[in-house]
Structure 1
Amino acid sequence: MKSLRVFRREVLALKKIFAINCGSTSTKVAYFEDDKMISKVSLDVTAEQLRKMPKVLDQKEYRTNQVKEFLKENKLDPAQFDIIVCRAGTIPHVPYDGAYEVNDLMIATVTYAPEAQHASTLSCLIGKELVKGLDIPVIIYDPTCVDSADEIAKITGIPEIINMPLAHLLNTKAAGTEYAKSIGKDYKDLNLIIVQLGGGITLGFHDHGRISDWVYDDEGPMSPQRAGAIPTRYMANFCYDWFKSGKTLQELRMYLCGQSGLVAYFGTQDVREVEKMINQGNKKAELILKAMAYGVAKSIGQLSVVRGGKVDQIILTGGMAYSERITNWIKEKVSFIAPVTIIPGEREMEALAAGALRVLNKEEEIHPYNVYPKGYSSIEEIINNPNYLA
């Protein structure tokens, strides 16, 4: 039997980890002790509140205060945390997956020269705000912008445009790791096509632990909030009419990446609401939802050629993977390529915490963040010359 002294020492050794994950309409936060989740909440931001804060960076103070209130209510003191781990924001591409320190360069980049307007950008800003004046490390983990892709996958028909990889690495890698463990293998032993069925739909070909090719949420199927790929002959005219009407580029970006897809057709991003319409006999709702699933299947087929058809498993994950209607439609089209496994839901908070724990246990190193946005060579330049998205 363990002595009381040994027991107390083991309790004191528990690693205290706080995870922050900002999404378009909520901020998810969770507190872990080692790998055990102690508390978790989704702090919602209403549509009315978002209208008052149209730019993502306008939401920083509001969301930070929400998180501080959560900490106060749960009697959590940031000074007691061993680490804060955040979902990565819209930063330039980095060479490796895993952990990156949130340093002055990253803060300047997401504040004054973000690659896009996306709520995930706020995660690291909130994390740094919570530990202001404290010596607590803040990291991001498994960012969307890891460049591990085959060079051939980046080539486009416009020489000035290089298609750099973007993928929901955090949750898809966690799903791939979970599947591999279930069959007694390592994630890095397999060729997997993993589909993130969320507000945006992304797919990646995971070639023995690296994403060698991908279909991001603006180049594949439409989704609850995204337009997906639109033929250029139509898109050129759409953009021309958009600007002619006096609307801005930022408004166009927000429409394509938040107000299109199912939202544009039905006024809701909630697939369950669309399925209710189908159950009530709405044929248009059935056609549109089936078209979305059809687009996912086409994109899976597109990725299946990356390694000459050598695909060990297709994995469907994310919130929409709970829908048997959608996953069955997809399976009907792609099961000839490889077996399909459904791993519904998201494990982003758990994946963030697990990565942070590996860092604390010295199983992984924190990569230094040292990538400057295109056109900048110093933090001072970034701060003094913000780009049009800031």
Structure 2
Amino acid sequence: MNILIIDPGSTSTKVGIFNDNQLIKENFKHDRSEIEQFKTIIDQLNYRFNIIKHFIQNNHPSLSFSAVIGRGGLIHPVEGGVYRVNDKMLEDLKAGINGQHASNLGGIIAKKFAEQYNCEAFIADPVVVDEMMPLAKYSGLKGIERKSIFHALNHKATARKVAEKIGKSYEEVNFIVAHLGGGISIGIHSKGKVIDVNNALDGDGPFSPERAGGLPVSGIKDYLSKNNISIGELTKIVSKQAGLMSYIGSVDMIKIEEDIKNSDKYKEEVISAMAYQIAKEICSLTAAVNGQIDGIILTGGLAHSKYLIDLISKRVSFLGKIYVEPGENEIESLLMSAKLALQNKIQVKEYRG
């Protein structure tokens, strides 16, 4: 099997080629100013497509692919699994029917390459996987429902990995998984389903390097009035320019930690506040399973920061064992999904919208 794997993120494009039982991969970082020249997510299509095209030409120019798999985007809510990229999915990804995010390009770019190579195009465990229990949907105001938008791919892959480590199946355990990255999503995994999780894009939960998390309604109203901005402008701010970007003006944790070591008390307090909000969210999710958890998993890019992990661990270690699995591992997770689909070990699902 020869498989092309595509994972577009906010400021990166990760690519993998699986050939002859070997995986080569690359993480192409994009300067923020480079990305911000594009008015919309879909405007980035050719820019990212050409990066991947050059990667293929530099590594396997004559290779043909059995399948292309991309990161799932903000389509209509679906259950977990592997989905074939069809016309309805492309339509919804291009329209951004559930929001604008770089992950929307995953299925679109996968389909574009699949047409060139005359093979299947898939996505797997998109960010809108919705397995939330009915009680978790209530927001407190009729007509507004809590949404399941989170790092489903890494959540589920890492939970399965840790479950295997402790000699259990994913369907047997209760884990709280915290994905710590540009956005932060924290979910309770119970018997194979994520029954509650915060909307990590623009909704609730802790603030993160780029996102605001939950905000008080009165504060939002005053902010709109004081700054004379529209709802559309506010949406961009809370998902791209909030969190650490708002408080510190940087998301570089290495530099921030250096400043803290040099007695920058303000940055120390901001990072402590983020860790506190993460810990609060973790603790609150124990209520979903009456406190019966098999462990807490800390994953994502920020899990490389021992400083941050220690701050969180001090507040949640009383709940149970903490497993630290740094990084996102999304290329490997997508690859496994594509292999299972090509081997007919799982059923490929059709997206209906």
Q: Which of 38, 43, 47 lines up with 2:28 in the alignment? A: 43
Do structure 1's residue 205 and structure 2's residue 188 form an aligned pair?
yes
Deviation (angstroms), 1:72 = 1.2
Do structure 1's residue 23 and structure 2's residue 9 form an aligned pair?
yes
Contact 1:34–1:357 (8 Å) recurs in 2: no
| Counterpart secondary structure, 1:306 | helix
Deviation (angstroms), 1:341 = 1.2
TM-superposition CA deviations, 1:222-248 (whole Å, max 9, x none): 111111111112122213334xx2x44
Deviation (angstroms), 1:35 = 5.7
| Counterpart secondary structure, 2:93 | helix
Q: Distance in 1 between matches of 2:226 and 2:19?
A: 54
Q: Which amino acid in 1 is paired with 2:215? A: I
Do structure 1's residue 183 and structure 2's residue 169 form an aligned pair?
no
Q: Distance in 1 between matches of 2:262 and 2:175?
A: 37
Greater displacement, 251-260 / 82-91? 251-260
| 2:18 alignment partner in structure 1 | 32
| Counterpart secondary structure, 2:36 | helix
| Counterpart secondary structure, 1:257 | helix
Q: Distance in 1 between matches of 2:226 and 2:142?
A: 26
Deviation (angstroms), 1:150 = 0.5
Does the C-alpha gap of structure 1 residues 250 and 364 become closer, same or farther in structure 2, counting only changes over 3 Å? same
Deviation (angstroms), 1:136 = 0.7
Do structure 1's residue 240 and structure 2's residue 225 form an aligned pair?
yes
Q: Which amino acid in 2 is paired with 1:207? A: S
Q: Which amino acid in 2 is paired with 1:75? A: H
Q: Which amino acid in 2 is paired with 1:357? A: K
Q: Distance in 2 between matches of 1:129 and 1:31?
A: 16
Q: Which of 92, 114, 117 lines up with 1:109 in the alignment? A: 92
Contact 2:147–2:199 (8 Å) recurs in 1: no
| 1:314 alignment partner in structure 2 | 296
Deviation (angstroms), 1:352 = 0.3
Structure 1 length-normalised TM: 0.87
Identical counterparts, % of pairs:
34
Structure possessing the higher radius of gyration over alpha carbons: 1
| 1:6 alignment partner in structure 2 | none
Contact 1:16–1:31 (8 Å) recurs in 2: yes
| Counterpart secondary structure, 1:205 | strand
| Counterpart secondary structure, 2:296 | strand
TM-superposition CA deviations, 1:243-270 (whole Å, max 9, x none): xx2x443332221111111111222112
| Counterpart secondary structure, 1:132 | helix
Does the C-alpha gap of structure 1 residues 35 and 141 become closer, same or farther in structure 2, counting only changes over 3 Å? farther
Q: Which of 231, 255, 259 lines up with 2:216 in the alignment? A: 231
| 1:85 alignment partner in structure 2 | 69
| 2:129 alignment partner in structure 1 | 146
| Counterpart secondary structure, 2:209 | coil
Contact 1:141–1:355 (8 Å) recurs in 2: yes
Unpaired runs of 5+ residues, structure 1, are: 1-14, 372-390
Does the C-alpha gap of structure 1 residues 61 and 275 become closer, same or farther in structure 2, counting only changes over 3 Å? same
TM-superposition CA deviations, 1:41-61 (whole Å, max 9, x none): 122322222232131111111
Deviation (angstroms), 1:90 = 1.0
Q: Distance in 2 between matches of 1:221 and 1:164?
A: 15
Deviation (angstroms), 1:133 = 5.1
Contact 1:35–1:354 (8 Å) recurs in 2: no
| 2:323 alignment partner in structure 1 | 341
Do structure 1's residue 283 and structure 2's residue 265 form an aligned pair?
yes
| Counterpart secondary structure, 1:298 | helix
Aligned length: 351
| Counterpart secondary structure, 2:126 | coil
Q: Which amino acid in 1 is paired with 2:74? A: T
Q: Which of 223, 246, 253 lines up with 1:271 in the alignment? A: 253
Q: Distance in 2 between matches of 1:32 and 1:134?
A: 15
Contact 1:17–1:34 (8 Å) recurs in 2: no
Greater displacement, 263-272 / 282-291? 263-272
Contact 1:204–1:214 (8 Å) recurs in 2: yes
| 2:46 alignment partner in structure 1 | 61
| Counterpart secondary structure, 2:33 | helix
Greater displacement, 213-222 / 223-232? 213-222
Matches within 5 A, 1:321-332: 321-332=303-314
| Counterpart secondary structure, 1:236 | helix
Q: Which amino acid in 2 is paired with 1:219? A: D
Deviation (angstroms), 1:177 = 1.1
